[in-house]
């Protein structure tokens, strides 16, 4: 049904005249439970209800994401060759980039002062959420720097011999980012 584009979402049902509003029913229920306004609901599409952007599905989608990621990360770690210089540093949990860069092995590859400049090329490719546009408009440079330091990647692997940090992220936009030391 999803491939054919006829999943019985509010968007589809509105399109064929079976519903009045394309607004997400799951988001509506979640907002009502929190006592929030139900104005401006996102369109209920197959993509929306299968993303963490859906208020009604965010917890479930995030739990599935973490479960899949944990399995992939553990499999990569187990499959690692004994002579590999790659070290997985976030096997047990996610850490903010600002926390990771307090560790000596990261600082040896790239200083905390150099990194935002290197990361900005990546940050500018990530769309700014509407709710953050005002902060972005005040100072785009520091906005991207703050976004980077606040990121919690799914995983991080480091190769000190080659001076490479692999930032591992499982999502639709990018599957990994590489930062090389200078």
- Residue-wise pLDDT for 11-55, tens only, equals 889 899 998 999 999 999 999 999 999 999 999 998 898 888 898
Alpha helix (H) ranges present in 46-153?
Answer: 46-49, 58-79, 97-100, 104-109, 115-123, 133-138, 140-150
Residue partners of 171: CB distance under 8 A and separation at least 6:
none
Sign of torsion, CA 105 109 112 117?
A: negative
- Residue-wise pLDDT for 99-143, tens only, equals 888 888 888 888 888 877 777 777 778 888 877 888 888 887 788
């Amino acid at each position: 049904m999803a491939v054919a584009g006829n999943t019985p979402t509010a968007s589809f049902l509105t399109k064929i005249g079976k519903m009045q509003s394309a607004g997400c029913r799951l988001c509506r229920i979640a907002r009502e439970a929190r006592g929030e306004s139900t104005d401006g609901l996102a369109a209920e599409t197959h993509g929306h209800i299968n993303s963490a952007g859906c208020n009604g599905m965010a917890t479930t989608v995030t739990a599935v994401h973490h479960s899949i990621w944990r399995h992939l990360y553990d499999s990569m770690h187990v499959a690692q060759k004994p002579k590999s210089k790659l070290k997985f540093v976030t096997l047990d949990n996610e850490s903010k980039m600002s926390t990771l860069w307090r560790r000596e092995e990261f600082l040896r590859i790239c200083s905390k002062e150099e990194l935002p400049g290197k990361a900005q090329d990546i940050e500018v490719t990530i769309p700014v959420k509407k709710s953050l546009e005002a902060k972005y408009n005040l100072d785009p440079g520091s906005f991207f720097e703050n976004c980077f330091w606040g990121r919690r990647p799914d995983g991080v692997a480091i190769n000190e011999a080659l001076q490479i940090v692999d930032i591992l992220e499982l999502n639709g936009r990018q599957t990994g980012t590489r930062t090389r030391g200078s």
